[in-house]
Amino acid sequence: MSTVRKVGVVGWGAIGRVVGTALAQGRVTGAELVCVVDHRPLGGATPAPQVAFEEALERCDLVVEAAGQGVVREWGERVLASGTDLLIASTGALTDDDLAKRLLAAGPGRVYFTGGAVGGLDLLQAVRSLGPLEGVRLTTTKLPSTLEQPWMSQDLLTRMRTATGPVEVMSGTAREVPARFPKSTNVAASVALAVGDLDAVRVQVVADPAAHRTRHVIEASGPHGAYRFEMEHVPDADNPATSQVVPYAVLRSLAAIAGRTGQIL
């Protein structure tokens, strides 16, 4: 394998554009952008050729998924089976136990995940080695308009649209919530990956018209300690359902995969 990772970015949206542009500008040592995959014709607006997924697998040794859970379901195993590594941003796809097991067992390509908009996952993963965590809870608060879903009742939509304060939109496990909010709650699956149990993480989704910053609060405890992490992010201007920081978390993950020294792992 080349010492320079040849990277293909899947999805040229709020995340993919930032990641792909940074790669094209040489801002990730040891990695270069060689192609872009998107279901829309981009008309030469990308700094690398737009190609079909099959061709991307021939050009790349690392694919960055920045296009949603459906791409992980449809292409994840094929990417890994081709010998190409895969960095997943849409961790919500891993709430499907069967898919998660197949991806982790697939190869010879390797699968990686980015923490996205939440921190503390490395510590939770380390603590888990000491024993199971108890009482793990994630509370995500966003603007109401970013949380609207086709399955919602008219009553709930009305309460969200007319709210003057916080409104609970859904409460459930990290297995249940990302499936209902496929573009807004990948963080729940990321916390569950760190904890090692989808059903152990309780998730509360809150709509708040005053939430001009997206807020995530993780609380966990166990026999070896208690932990609380709180993050507030500016939403992406083009896609308020995701936080502005997410593509930079992907770039950090890319730098670690490419072997940049000085990384906190």
The catalytic site residues sit at 216
Query: Measured between alpha carbons, how far is residue 58 from residues 26, 97, 132 in Å?
Result: 22, 29, 42
Cα distances from 133 to residues 77, 80, 92, 94, 139, in angstroms, run 30, 31, 21, 20, 17
Q: Which of 67, 79, 6, 4 is nearest to 37 (CA)?
A: 67
Give burial (CB, 10 Å; 0-12/13-18/19+) of 251: buried
For residue 4, give the amino acid letter. Answer: V
* DSSP-based three-state secondary structure for 74: helix
CB 115 within 8 A of CB 218: no
CA dist., res. 108 & res. 147, Å (int): 37
Q: Cα(243)–Cα(222) distance, rounded to whole angstroms?
A: 30
- Which of 186, 169, 194 is closest to 239 using CA atoms? 186
